[in-house]
A and B are shown apart, each in its own frame.
Chain A
Amino acid sequence: MVVLLAGFLGGSLAMAGSSDESSELTRADVERLAAEVARMRERLDEMEALRERVGQLEQALEEARRDLESRQLAAPQKRDVSASGDAAEAGNTSSDEDESDGIDFKGALRFTAFWSDSNDAVKGTRGDSGLDLFRVGAEGSIDDLLLSAEYRFYPFMDAIHHGWIGYEFDNEDQIQLGITRVPFGLLPYASHSFWFGVPYYLGFSDDYDLGVKYIHRDGPTNLQFAFFKNAELAGASDLGRYSYDILSAGDYRNEESNQVNVRAAHTFGFETSCSHEVGVSGQWGELYNFDTRRRGDHWAAAAHLDTRCGRWNLQLQGTRFEINPEQPTAIGDDIVRVGGFETSYDMATEGTLAVANVAYNVPIDSEYIDQIICYNDYSVLFKDRSDFRKSQLNTTGCLVGRGPVFLYLDLIQANNMVFFGDGSLAGQGEDDWKTRFNVNLGYYW
Chain B
Amino acid sequence: MMISRFRRRCRQAVMVSVGVIAAFSTAQAETDRLTAVSWGGAYTRSQILGFVRDFERSSGIDVEMIDYVGGIDEIRSQVRSYNVKWDVVDLELFDAIRACDEGLLVEIDPASLPTAPDGTPASEDFVEGALMPCGVGNVAAATVVAYSSSRLDQGPETLEDFFDLGKFPGRRGLRRTPMSNLEWALIADGVEPSRVYEILDTDDGLDRAFRSLDRIKQQIEWWELGEEAIRLLETDAVVMTSAYNGRVESAAARGEPFAIVWDHHVRFKDVWAVPRHSENEAAALAFLRFATSTRSLANQAQYIAYGPLRKSSLRLLDRDVLKRLPTAEENLELGFATDAQWWGENLPAIQRRFDRWVERSIQVPRELPGR
Contacts and interface: CB of A to CB of B under 8 A. Distances in A.
Interface stretch (B88-96, B139-147, B313-321, B353-361): B353-361
Interface residues of B, number: 60
Given A6-B23, A359-B364, A189 B371 contact: yes
Contact of B362 (A3, A15, A95, A310): A310
Interface stretch (A224-232, A264-272, A288-296, A330-338): A264-272
A109 B356 CA distance: 25
Contacts of B234: 73-74
A45 interface: no
Where chain B touches its partner, the secondary structure class is: helix
B367 A313 contact: no
B254 A7 contact: no
Nearest to A186: B366
Contacts of A62: 45, 48-49, 53
A59 B53 contact: yes
A177 to B, nearest CB: 22
Given A14-B15, A406-B370, A444-B369, A365 B357 contact: yes
Contact residue range for chain A? Answer: 35 or more
B267 to A, nearest CB: 25
A436 to B, nearest CB: 17
Interface stretch (B67-75, B163-171, B282-290): B163-171
Interface stretch (A63-71, A120-128, A251-259, A380-388): A63-71
B215 A273 contact: yes
Given A14-B19, A95-B221, A192-B368, A24 B363 contact: no
Given A110-B370, A360-B364, A271 B57 contact: no
B236 interface: yes
A11 B370 contact: no
Contact of A194 (B19, B24, B215, B370): B370
A87 B288 CA distance: 50
A81 to B, nearest CB: 14
B364 A192 contact: yes
Contact of B170 (A2, A59, A63, A271): A271
A408 interface: yes
Nearest to B15: A14
Interface stretch (A319-327, A339-347, A366-374, A416-424): A366-374
B64 to A, nearest CB: 14
Contacts of A189: 368, 371
Interface of B: 4, 8, 11-12, 15-24, 27, 42, 45, 48-49, 53, 57, 60, 165-166, 169-171, 210, 214-216, 218-219, 221, 227, 230-231, 234-237, 251, 254, 256, 353, 356-357, 359-371
Given A10-B19, A10-B20, 6 more contacts: A11-B20, A12-B16, A62-B48, A90-B367, A96-B361, A271-B169
